[in-house]
Amino acid sequence: MSKCAANVASQDYADFIYRHSSATLEELSRLLGTDCISFVNESYVVYYVPLAEALPLGVPNRSYESVPALFGLMDTTSMEASGVLSTFRQPALGSSGEGVLVGLIDTGIDYQNPLFCHPGGTTRILGLWDQTADDSGFELPGNRPFLFPFLYGKEYLEEDINRALFHDDPLSIVPSTDTNGHGTFMAGIAAGGMSVSPDFTGAAPRCSLGIVKLKPAKQYLRDYYMIPDGADAYQSDDIMLGITYLTLLARRHRMPLVICLGLGTNYGGHTGASPVGEVLNGLRSFLGVTAVCPAGNEAGLRHHYLGRAASPADGSGDFDEIELRVGDEEKGFVIELWADSPEIYTVGFVSPTGEVIQRVPLSLSSETTVRFSLESTAIVVSYATALGTQSSFLAALRFIDPLPGIWRIRVYPTIVFSGAYHMWLPVQGFVSPDTYFLQADPYTTIVTPGNADFPITVSAYNHMDGSLFIHSSRGYTRDGRVKPDLAAPGVDVYGPGISSVPGEYPMVRMTGSSVAAAHVAGAAANIYSRQYPAGSYPNIGGDLVKTSLTRGAGRNPNYTYPNREWGYGTLNLYDSFLSLRE
């Protein structure tokens, strides 16, 4: 156990991600200079240091991958369209998720909602890690600290939640709520039980649940990434530890596990080599584990630019110029330029007033801050020619208090082979809707970690008319792998909401690829449930579940599959079950 006695969840501590090679806690403590360390898996730890010792962030003080990235939320006729109800109606296929743990890493859950209870009123939640909770004064059973090896938050087990449900004041026993509603909705779509009135069911209504309620991102990271006030933002290290918690919970109960993530980010190289993507890819070695991620809602938002640079030796021009519109209310943002190694690019700028900044020289040991004489804008430029898990070139451009108007970013090729480079603005909610590339490309917009290889990545479509959701992110990944894998209902979908009135459980509608991912998570749970009755140990992995779902997917004869919008087709659980017979 860690010897850490600090409140690492407080605003006074900074979080960092470190990639190690089978080091012990004692070795890491000496290397990192702290006892406050949490293990994610055999490759990653998260460590915590006083904030005053951690600042400033960025090159050369910290490596790119050590600073947690920030993730945003990617927001029943839908069950009929997905082939879920068809399987319920077939006794031979009648699988509803029994014996499977569906784990959600999101904004929490309204655990009092009957949709998440057994018919007798007891909970279907086996474990709930509330990262926002203060653990002071919480009496743990003697063995709980060894089952819950994390340095912040509280874990509530099935018996805790049952005690709360049968108490006059449930929140006095388990004071965990979902004030956002996104997590409750996701849980309802993936795993909600059948409602009293026959108008709603989740995709796996009899599965068990594991819940991670993410704590909001710390203010120093919000300031670093210039996240607008009021935007929901969550840290990659908290997500990574949430994945670890759910795998431990599933092992504790000897259950197959389906992890459903409803979040995404544009930070990173869009090849799946981010820390969160690497942790998800590492789940491939475990039998009975599947992960499902949203593709994102970025295709129509003009946040991606695909550039083609000519070699400096061919005489065709000195630079490629990209036009960027900056909105009136924009406080700041980060643009990341990524290219395959060993290519190298440098950048220059033209402000809306016409002031020209010539190319910023390549420096790997320091950041360069560009200031303008006629406006208060500053642009901090950082270059990296190699990263820990990503064989890529990165130029990070931090626009601080940018002047509204049309900016021009000049990209100068230095070492060029293919000449292809990509630029991404932050995801929706992290940047003004009036800030975008004028010549944007809707493809290669799959958000992290949906661009990782192992997860099932899901785009969203309108199940009422069969059309693709206009903002549903499109593939492929930057390194050319097929993503998304599937499409599922994600437009105006009906599911559980939240209410401030005790005993009220409203139904609402939501749109987004996270909703589509929840459908697929429930479908994956049904496949495990069918293959492995409760109590039996699984001997298939997530890749076979993904294969079954893609084989059974619905396909339009007018399209070629796989493709960058629909992947291998639309979710059809009934046909996926039939494909298992073959």
Q: What is the pLDDT of residues 530-561, one digit of tens each?
A: 776 655 556 678 999 999 999 999 999 999 99
Question: What CA–CA distance (Å, rounded) separates 210 from 109?
Answer: 10
pLDDT digits (tens, 9 = 90+) for 151-162: 999 999 999 999
Report whether 521 contacts 260 (CB < 8 A): yes
Q: At 372, phi and psi to the nearest 5? A: -115, 145
pLDDT at 279 (0 to 100): 97
Checking if the pLDDT of 55 tops 60, the result is: yes
Number of residues that this document lists for the chain: 582
Stretch 395-414: mean pLDDT, rounded?
96
**Position 432: which residue type?**
S
Structure tokens at 429: 């909610």
Burial category of 364 from C-beta neighbours within 10 Å (exposed 0-12, middle 13-18, buried 19 and up): exposed
Q: What is the DSSP string of 135-152?
A: -TTPPPPTTHHHH---SS
Instruction: Give the pLDDT of residue 318.
Output: 82
- What is the pTM assigned to this prediction? 0.93
Identify the pLDDT of residue 139.
46
Model confidence at 147, in pLDDT bands (50, 70, 90)? low
Q: What is the mean pLDDT of the chain?
A: 89
Q: How far apart are CA 517 and CA 274, in angstroms?
A: 20
Residue whose pair of structure tokens reads 């784990």 in the numeric block: 103
Provide, rounded to the nearest whole percent, the portion of the chain with pLDDT above 70. 89
Assign 137 a pLDDT band (cuts: 50, 70, 90). Answer: very low
Instruction: Give the β-pairing of 392-400 and 378-384.
Output: antiparallel
**DSSP 3-state of 62:** coil
Among residues 240, 230, 236, the alpha carbon closest in space to that of 265 is found at 236
CA dihedral (423, 428, 433, 439) positive or negative: positive
Element (H, E) at 281: helix 275-282
User: Please, is 580 exposed, middle or buried when counting C-beta atoms within 10 Å of its C-beta (0-12, 13-18, 19+)?
Assistant: middle
> Which value, to the nearest 10 degrees, does the dihedral of the CA atoms of residues 400, 406, 407, 410 take?
160
- Residue 53 CA to residue 43 CA, distance in Å, equals 25
> What backbone phi and psi angles, to 5 degrees, belong to 544?
-70, -35
DSSP 3-state of 160: helix
- Residue at 2: amino acid letter: S
Angle between the N-to-C axes of helices 573-580 and 513-531, in degrees from 0 to 180, rounded to the nearest 10: 30
Q: CA 411 to CA 202: how far, in whole Å?
A: 49
d(CA 455, CA 576): 17
- Distance from C-alpha of 332 to C-alpha of 325, rounded to nearest angstrom: 13
Q: What pLDDT shows up at residue 144?
A: 46
From the list 187, 268, 182, the residue with the least C-alpha distance to 448 is: 268
Q: Which of 529, 510, 7, 384 is nearest to 218 (CA)?
A: 7
**Smallest Cα–Cα separation from 38: which of 80, 68, 62?**
68
* Residue 446 to residue 448: CA distance in whole angstroms: 7
CA 141-142-146 angle, to 5 degrees, is: 100
pLDDT band of 113, cuts 50, 70, 90: very high
Q: How confident is the model at residue 59 (pLDDT cuts 50, 70, 90)?
A: low
- Bridge partners of residue 495, in order along the sequence: 508
Rounded to 5 degrees, what angle do the CA atoms 241, 237, 133 make? 65
378-392 average pLDDT score: 83
**Model pLDDT for residues 298-345, shown as the tens digit of each residue:** 999 999 999 988 766 554 458 999 999 999 989 999 999 999 988 999
Q: Which residue has the higher pLDDT, 407 or 57?
A: 407
Q: DSSP of 323-339, one letter per residue?
A: EEEE-TT--EEEEEEEE
| Residues near 8 by beta carbon (within 8 Å), at least 6 away in sequence | 15, 36, 48, 151, 152
User: Rounded to an integer, what distance in angstroms lies between the CA atom of residue 74 and that of residue 428?
Assistant: 9
- For the ranges 25-39, 384-398, 429-443, the one whose mean pLDDT is highest: 429-443
Whole-angstrom CA distances from 368 to 289, 355, 375 are 44, 18, 18
**246-249 long-range contacts, Cβ below 8 Å, gap at least 24?**
246/101, 246/103, 246/105, 246/210, 246/212, 247/283, 247/286, 247/289, 248/147, 249/101, 249/103, 249/126, 249/127, 249/210
Tokens, residue 214: 């993410």
- The residue whose two tokens read 């492995």 is 532
Q: How does pLDDT run across 160-190, given as a tens digit for each residue?
A: 999 999 999 999 999 999 999 999 999 999 9
AA letter at 201: T
φ/ψ (deg, to 5) at 481: -80, 155
> Which pLDDT score is estimated for 198?
58
